[in-house]
Amino acid sequence: MIGPAIPFAGIAGWAVLTRTRETQQATFDRQPQLTRDVDYFRANISNVKTAKDLVSDRRLLTVALGAFGLSDDIGKKAFIEKVLAEGTLNPDSLANRLPDKRYALLASSFAFELGGSPFAGRTFQERIVRAYLDRSFETAVGEQSTSLRLALGLERDLGAILSGQNTQNGFWFAVMGTPAVRRVFELALGLPQQTASLDIDRQLDAFKTASERIFGTSDLRQFAAPEKREELIRRFVLNAELQGLDQSTRAGLTGGPPGAVAALALLQSSAASGPGGGLLQILAAR
């Protein structure tokens, strides 16, 4: 599978990626493996009636879990079936008790506890397919740069957290319980990963205190504003580079992973106009 073009690491790589995301994503989405995955999902998801039906079909489950960043759980069929079957309406359900909030999002989206089969609806199908393709793109980015993968997913994941009704502490607990978002905040705020071993209230205090020191407030809703979210991301990417989080290539146009070079060639061949043209301008400016 051809990966995205990320010819630089760090802030420069983030500038390239954000400027060319639309074009690179469109090219990535058309790859045969992904096309087969989403076509199969669209054609067969409406046949699913129970959580057991879903986990019994590995191809459907691949898309379903991938849409929520849970692809690594593909082999945990009994666990995933329990998460899905219990849903989220009961506060004591497994999904609600798990600290990782992705499971609650998965369970509430499929809502098996409500009965019936809502999966024939095109809106539901396309929402899952779009999330699966986006997550797949982020995974491909992560093969070159862990920090850029996390930065790409932040807008969606943090947006989902802030879109809910919650208290200030509740928002922070959601951040702390979403692994990818937590890692972005840890690095952006200069908190060590060992913070996770502290009592939960001490963790909360550490996050809020660091946010006040760096951003002037502990109100997480500030990051709903694009300019503040970009400031957060840039701090994260810079600190990630300083701490050596990435194993990404620092090669130029003719170096680096073959997938990245191939993707870059595809972009260059699409002319300098439109969204892809920004890549050439950025490279020329260096």
Q: Report pLDDT digits (tens) over 54-66.
A: 999 999 999 999 9
pLDDT at 278 over 70: no
Spatial separation of the C-alpha atoms in residues 9 and 103, rounded to whole Å: 32
pLDDT category, 247, cuts 50, 70, 90? low
The highest-confidence range among 7-11, 138-142, 161-165, by mean pLDDT, is 138-142
1 or 42: whose pLDDT is higher?
A: 42
pLDDT category, 255, cuts 50, 70, 90? very low
Q: Report pLDDT digits (tens) over 124-136.
A: 999 999 999 999 9
Spatial separation of the C-alpha atoms in residues 78 and 84, rounded to whole Å: 10
pLDDT at 119 over 90: no
Spatial separation of the C-alpha atoms in residues 234 and 251, rounded to whole Å: 21
pLDDT at 211 over 90: yes
pLDDT category, 226, cuts 50, 70, 90? very high
- For the chain, the average pLDDT equals 85
Q: What percent of the chain has pLDDT over 90?
A: 72
Q: Report pLDDT digits (tens) over 90-113.
A: 999 999 999 898 999 999 999 998
Show the DSSP H helices in the chain as ranges.
Answer: 10-29, 32-44, 51-56, 58-66, 77-86, 94-97, 102-110, 122-142, 146-162, 168-176, 179-188, 200-215, 226-242, 258-268, 277-285
Contact 266, 195 (CB under 8 A): no
Say how many CA atoms lie within 13 Å of 283 toward its Cβ. Answer: 19
Spatial separation of the C-alpha atoms in residues 68 and 64, rounded to whole Å: 7
